[in-house]
Structures are given as structure tokens and as C-alpha cells.
Structure 1
């Protein structure tokens, strides 16, 4: 079984790297990118990645939701979402980033020891809460990537470097529109996460879990302020970037912080 997992991990990593190698020259040299070939490579990588995750997570004794498996699962969701969006939107600046993180996460999940068994049998509410939380975090992570891309494009334009000659880069206003739609969806999902947690997770406010709830709520408040500031006050630029990055950082600390110490450092 471990040999199969190692093989799937290496195959997925190579496919992701192949997709990256087809994108980078187009960004650097402003040449055409073979969209269909990149999509096929990405589809094969994501399929193999999903197959690997099913082997890593599904366990005869429960579901192995270790921190490394969850990180790889989030990378899978982000890669799947952006790869599908690739067909309609020029995401070439973001795809090498998310594919690189996917390679790191899936190799770590396969080759580094980490176990955290969860039992969802008869716990539909817990499964619902975790599913919404995963999609909320993935969506807001994509929002943070869009914010970084928006800041980079804005910097280049202000530096008077012509971006229009590179057909692989998206228009600034289109990136901004997509950014706020993504953050709005992610904030709604985060709201649902907090509500389902408060209703169904009795241990949510216990001392060992309270920091997760507090950090998640602060992140939710930041995203609400960001959306209010944009739609009511017209906020753009650095305010949006820092609020988006801060929100994602707080969510990362809420979920991964203590678990990283317990599962990786202490082990």
C-alpha cells in the first residue's frame, strides 16, 4: 500500500511540474501557452492527487485527517477550482503557485509521518461542518492569491511597465471583480462554518479549542470589514491586500497552528 502511495505521489508531482513547465515560458517570454495541453496535464495531476488522497485519508479504523492530509486536500480543492477556471480566465500567474504548493503538500503527506484519526460514522453534523470549513478556507485562500495578483498587476502598471503586450496576463479590473466575488463567497462559507460549529460542536469553546474559534471569528470580522469597505467606501489597493492576507493568516493559525505543534514538532 505504501509503495502505491509513493508511486501516485511521484506521478502527481511530475504531472504538476510538467504543467508548470508549460506555463512559465509564456509568462516570462510573452509567448503563447498551450491551454489544452496544460489542462490535460493538470487534469491528470489532479485525478492522481485525488486518488492518492483517498488512499491516505480513508482508513479501516476511521478517517486520517492529519494536518498534512488536510493541507494536501485543501491544495487539491484549490487546484481543481483554478484549473477549471483556467478555461475561461487567464490565471497563468496563479497556477504555477498553486501547483507548486500542491507538489509540496502531497509529497509531505505521503513521505512524512502524521496521523489524526476521525470517525464520521453517525456524525453527519461534524462532516458537514468540516466540509464547509474546508471549502471556506480554500475559497478565501484563492481570494488571497487573487489579492496578491491584483497588487502585482497594480504595481507593474504604476511602474509604467506595459502589461498589455503579454496576452497571458489578465486585465486589472477583471481580477478585481473576481477577487471580491471570491471573498464574498468565502465569507458566506466562513459564516456557515462558524454557525455550524457553534450549533453542532460542543467542544468548540473548550479551553483547548477556544483559540480556533476566536481566531476564526476575528478573521470573519476582517473579511466583513473588507467587504463593507469596498462596497460602501470604495476601498482598493493595499487595504484590500492586507485585510485579505491577514484574514487568511488568522484562519491558517486557527486550524494549523496548534495541530502543527502537536502532530509535527512534538512527534
Structure 2
């Protein structure tokens, strides 16, 4: 199934190229070639993920398999929201991330076999955790887009006025909507971890819970500060990015050390 990596990469690159070309020409980037190439890329990516995740001996939730699954979920979500929410500037970054995640899975193979069919409660926890991570990673991309637009507006750059770029207020509103949804999912993920996983704070895993709890506190403080203190601009971007970094460390930090460095 690694043969799928090449055509998937080509379709992702084609989609990114079409999107970038449209943006450079002061267009939205939305045309049939973008949808066709992105659709083919994500379909092949999905087939590749299924073949690598679900093996005869169990489910392989290795580091890069999960990273590839997250990149696919982000690509699907951002592509679906690109037209109504004007996410054209984010699409090329998302597609390149998908390419990198697949290439790393092929170049640095590892395995982490579990049996989710024997532990449905773990499946619930993992599913909600991945959903929370996906939503909050998209929020991080939103915050970077907001920072770029704010920077261009303050310096009167030509890129500040672009038909494919949403208004600063709409980006901010959508960003906090994503953070609210992500915080709810993260709360459910942490609660399910406390309830379903007896070794949630066990040696070697405690940092996951700690980093996740710190990230939860940051996102909750961000929502509180925005609502009651009017936090906006650079502070919002910084806290959103810090939260996403902490979640990345919680979800992938120890796995990277165990599967890649120690092996």
C-alpha cells in the first residue's frame, strides 16, 4: 500500500498548486481542479490509513500512523470549510502537512499494536481525544491566519485586501468558536481518561495528562479572558499556539521518544 504514497503526494501537491495560483491571481482558488485533486488525494490518503491502521494482528496506532490520521482529518475539515469560511490561505499548509506525515510513516516505520475491540472504552477515549486535537490544531491555524491578516492591515500591505481573505472580525469569531468546541471535546477526553484508563497517571504516561491539563487551563483562561477582559490580538495567538504545542507534546511527545529515538 506504500505505492499509494506517490499518487497521493502528487494530488496533494496539485491541489496546493492550484490553490496558491488562484491566490496569487487575486482569486479564491476555488475551481474544479482544486476539488478534484484534493478529493482524489484525501480518498487515497484514507485508503492508505485504513490499510496501515487496521492489521490482522490488531490496530497499529504508531506515532506516524496516528499523525497521518490527524492530518487527514484536518485536511477533510479544512477543505469542507474552505469555501464558506474562506480558508484558502490555510489549505496549502494543510496539504503539505498531510504529505509530510505520510512520507515520515514510510521512511521511519514503527508499530504500536493494540486491540481496541477488546477495550471499547479506550476507543471512545482515543476518538474524542483525536477530535479535540484536530479541532484545536485547526484553531491554531486560524490564529496564525489572524496574526498574518492583522500584520498586513497594520502595515498597509497589499495582501490585506484580498477577495479570498476573510475579515479580521470573522476570523476572530470563528477562532473562538473552534476553541469552545475543542475545549468541550478536550474536557470529555480528559474525563474519559480519568474514568476509563486506570493508568492515566501511571509512570511514563503521567506527562500526557499533565500537559493536557495545562493546555485545558490555557484554553479555558483564553475564553475567560476574551469574554471578561476583552483579550484579543497577539495574546490570543500566542496562547492558542502554546496550547497546541502542549497538546502535541501530550499526544506525541513520549511516543516519539519511545518509537523513534529509543528504537
Q: Is the contact made by 2:153 and 2:160 (CA closer than 8 Å) also made in structure 1?
A: no
Deviation string for 1:179-209 (max 9, x for gaps)? Answer: 0000110010000000000000001011211
Task: Report the alpha carbon displacement of residue 111 of structure 1 after superposing the two structures with TM.
Answer: 3.4
Match of 2:101 among 96, 101, 105: 105
Alignment of 1:51-62 (within 5 A): 51-62=47-58
Do the aligned partners of 1:146 and 1:179 also contact (CA within 8 Å) in 2? yes
> Following superposition of structure 1 onto structure 2, how do residues 175-194 of structure 1 map, counting pairs within 5 Å?
175-194=171-190
Give the distance between the partners of 1:118 and 1:71, measured in 2 at CA. 17
Report if the CA contact (8 A) 1:26-1:168 is conserved. no
Which stretch of structure 1 is more off in the superposition, 166-175 or 14-23? 166-175
Partner residue in 2 for 1:96: 92
Counterpart of 1:14 in 2: which secondary structure? helix
Cross-structure match for 1:115: 111
2:92 matched to 1:72? no
Distance 2:255 2:15 in 1: 32
The Cα offsets for residues 21-45 of structure 1, whole Å up to 9 and x where unpaired, read as 1011222342452433212211111
Distance 1:64 1:165 in 2: 46
Deviation at 1:166, TM superposition (A): 2.0
Q: Does 1:38 align with 2:34?
A: yes
d(CA) in 2 for partners of 1:212, 1:164: 39
**RMSD over aligned Cα, in angstroms?**
1.2
CA distance in 1, matches of 2:206, 2:41: 37
TM-score, scaled relative to structure 2: 0.97
In structure 2, how many angstroms separate the alpha carbons of the residues matched to 1:42 and 1:265? 33
- Output the CA distance in 2 between the equivalents of 1:156 and 1:181: 24
Could you tell me which runs of 5 or more consecutive residues in structure 1 were left unpaired when the two chains were aligned: none
Match of 1:157 among 138, 145, 153: 153
Under a length normalisation based on structure 1, what TM-score does the superposition of the two structures give?
A: 0.95
Q: Matched residue of 2:87: which SS?
A: coil
What is the CA deviation profile of residues 205-261 of structure 1, one whole-angstrom value per residue up to 9, with x for unaligned ones? Answer: 112111111110000000000001111111101110111011110111111111101
2:205 matches 1:173? no
SS of 1:235 mapped into structure 2: coil
Q: Once the 2 structures are TM-superposed, how far is the Cα of residue 138 of structure 1 from its aligned partner?
A: 0.7
After TM superposition, the runs of 4+ consecutive aligned structure 1 residues lying more than 3 A away are 162-165
